[in-house]
Chains A and B, each alone.
Chain A
Amino acid sequence: MRVTQWLAFRLLRLGLVLLCVATLSFGLVMLSPIDPVDAYLGPQMAQVSPEQRAIIAHRWGFDTPPAAQFGHWLRQLLSGDLGWSHIYNRPVSEVIGERFYRSIALLGSAWLLSALVGFVLGVMAGAKEGSLLDRLISAYAYITASTPTFWLGILGLLLFSVYLGWTPVCCAGPTGTLSQDVSTLTRLHHLALPVATLTLLGIANITLHTRSRMVALMRSDIATHAFAQGASRFDVAWRQGLRHASLPALTLAFASLGELFGGSILIEQVFAYPGLGQATVEAGLRSDVPLLLGIALFTALFVSVGNLIADTLYRLVDPRIGQTSS
């Protein structure tokens, strides 16, 4: 299959998957036992008469059958309108845009750092299986893979913010300051601990994967042959290991965007960082259905594009696949 043809096929598939995500999330939301009018009213629930409730239900279409509601929502979606978020009282697309803009600094830096550090640690550990360094790095990776994300956040908060006082306790800037008045340095100061926590946890996955690639290489005929040529382990890791491990690591980094996003939800909750993750939790807790659906679709797009990039990289870069496809 030609690359362009393959890509077109993958894009079609992506569209299909997104449609399925939309259907699935809408179906799930419809299942919810929470009354949409109650959710809309929030704490003012008790102050509203049945007539007023009927008006609200009619205004937002809660009184029509689920299929009609779904059709309406899908038509809106196709015209680019994600709906209205009642907890922020703004269009969903605006809320997602603004929140994602704040999260991207957190997500992006944690993603880059964990991929880089994870890769380097994985290569170092896998270069000599069973060495002290390998055992230390593996132990670190196994422990962090079993660590609850939010608990590491709590520990970081306790140590660096409460005891040492190096980092702020919450939020993206000092409380009471408008976000446009916050300087870049202050922003970075507030980001440091969340990014560090997310990075520490994200490293494990890439490290273990890269390590296993390196171990497989070091046990292979390729490495034995290199050793027979007089190469040291370092030589093999540098000349051949990097070639063998970098593409899988990069692919994994793109494929694990979903996990990273999940981690960011928890981290933003612990550090009260007003990003997309926190908005997700708010939407879930306060039943803001359009926002919840919008975020589900948006993150599905985000993750799918990550997966697509991962697959495309493999096709373009690996000489073995590139040959068979042309």
Chain B
Amino acid sequence: MLHIDQLTLQLPYYRRWWQRDWATCFENISLTILPGEVHAIVGASGAGKSLLAYTILGLLPEGAKTNGQLFFQSEPLTPARQQRLRGRELALIPQSLNALDPLARSQRQVSWAALRAGQPKATAWQSAHQALTHYQLDEHAQRAFPHELSGGMARRVLTAMAHVSHANLIIADEPSVGLDPQQRDRVLMALKALADQGKAVILITHDLRHALPIADNVTIMRQGLCVETTTTAAFQGHGDALHSGYAKALWHALPDNAFTSPIIMNALEEPSVA
């Protein structure tokens, strides 16, 4: 569904008042995401995960420089095509709950998403209702303003906004942040359900534990580089199926695993890749 080929992103910044420089956010990223799969992108903050999402959607700030190619459904994803497909074929579940408009009720916001996806005015309001009901938000929550919703409910409103667009590629940016385990599983299962309908889901997270239960494939990113892409099955036992030291270190660092293993120390002493 989505193929990323040797993608590099650079953003300008000012070293001094007159001296412009380029900061490389990520470099030579290559990925393929198939329909019906949940593909997790895991990395520490600053690894370039969110910027990768914005690059796919074409929402980068002015002046950003990209290199490499994007293909969506086997056709090149040009800026013009990105603009056309945003909200219709490509959907984003943003990281921050601040993305909800504080001055509009949930149902209205979801109906806007439906309108923006090209639904006629007559049905948008109704499909917003259906989408919210699908995510177990009752009448009261549908009429509520965002500040009246709990974190989990707000996250489900955001998911409903992506759902109502009927997009085929859904990028979820840190959907599990700030939720209690029960709410988190609910949100993650909702993503898994979307994949089971044949959509492609990119799950961006910093926590490997949240990705493993639902992901089919996992890409580990570190400091703007793709460290390793592997199947979820590779994260097993001592992690012998993992190739890179960093991925092994991440796996071993999980509380249930042997996090005292000396491998971690070696992995972290690897020369920095950026």
* A interface residue numbers (CB < 8 A to B): 220-222, 224-231, 235, 239-240, 243-244, 318-320, 323
B57 at the interface (CB under 8 A from A): yes
B100-131 CB mask vs A (1 if < 8 Å, else 0) is: 11111000000011001100000000000000
B19 at the interface (CB under 8 A from A): no
A-B contact pairs, 22 of them (CB 8 A): A221-B94, A222-B99, A222-B101, A224-B54, A224-B99, A225-B92, A225-B100, A227-B59, A227-B86, A228-B57, A228-B87, A228-B94, A229-B91, A229-B112, A229-B116, A230-B85, A235-B116, A240-B104, A319-B145, A319-B147, A320-B102, A320-B147
Taking a contact as CB atoms under 8 Å apart, the answer to whether A229 and B87 are in contact is yes
**From residue 153 to 173 of chain B, which have CB atoms closer than 8 A to chain A?**
158, 161, 165
B139 at the interface (CB under 8 A from A): no
CB contacts (< 8 Å) of A318 on chain B: these are 103
B77-98 CB mask vs A (1 if < 8 Å, else 0) is: 0000001011110111010101
Taking a contact as CB atoms under 8 Å apart, the answer to whether A221 and B148 are in contact is no
* B interface residue numbers (CB < 8 A to A): 54, 57, 59, 83, 85-88, 90-92, 94, 96, 98-104, 112-113, 116-117, 145, 147-148, 158, 161, 165
Taking a contact as CB atoms under 8 Å apart, the answer to whether B99 and A231 are in contact is no
Distance in angstroms between the alpha carbons of A100 and B90 in the assembled complex: 60
Answer whether A240 and B145 are a contact pair too, CB < 8 Å, given A227-B59, A228-B92. no
CB contacts (< 8 Å) of A227 on chain B: these are 59, 86
In the complex, residue of chain B having the shortest beta-carbon distance to the beta carbon of A322: B145
Distance in angstroms between the alpha carbons of A285 and B230 in the assembled complex: 86
Question: Which residue of A224, A228, A235, A243 contacts B101 across the interface (Cβ within 8 Å)?
Answer: A243
Answer whether A228 and B145 are a contact pair too, CB < 8 Å, given A221-B98, A222-B99. no
Answer whether A230 and B59 are a contact pair too, CB < 8 Å, given A225-B92, A319-B145, A320-B145. no
Taking a contact as CB atoms under 8 Å apart, the answer to whether A221 and B116 are in contact is no
Answer whether A221 and B87 are a contact pair too, CB < 8 Å, given A229-B116, A320-B145. no
Question: Which residue of A226, A230, A320, A323 contacts B88 across the interface (Cβ within 8 Å)?
Answer: A230
In the complex, residue of chain A having the shortest beta-carbon distance to the beta carbon of B161: A229
Answer whether A323 and B87 are a contact pair too, CB < 8 Å, given A221-B98, A224-B94, A230-B117. no
Distance in angstroms between the alpha carbons of A198 and B173 in the assembled complex: 50
CB contacts (< 8 Å) of B99 on chain A: these are 221-222, 224-225
CB contacts (< 8 Å) of A244 on chain B: these are 103
Question: Which residue of A220, A228, A243 contacts B86 across the interface (Cβ within 8 Å)?
Answer: A228
CB contacts (< 8 Å) of A221 on chain B: these are 94, 96, 98-99
| Cβ distance B96 to chain A, nearest Cβ, rounded Å | 5
In the complex, residue of chain A having the shortest beta-carbon distance to the beta carbon of B95: A221
| Cβ distance B252 to chain A, nearest Cβ, rounded Å | 35
CB contacts (< 8 Å) of B104 on chain A: these are 240, 243
Taking a contact as CB atoms under 8 Å apart, the answer to whether A239 and B59 are in contact is no
In the complex, residue of chain B having the shortest beta-carbon distance to the beta carbon of A324: B147
CB contacts (< 8 Å) of B85 on chain A: these are 230
A220, A230, A235, A318 — most chain B CB neighbours (10 Å): A230
Answer whether A243 and B161 are a contact pair too, CB < 8 Å, given A227-B86, A229-B113, A230-B88. no
5 smallest CB-CB distances across A and B, nearest first, come from A230-B87, A225-B99, A228-B92, A229-B87, A221-B99
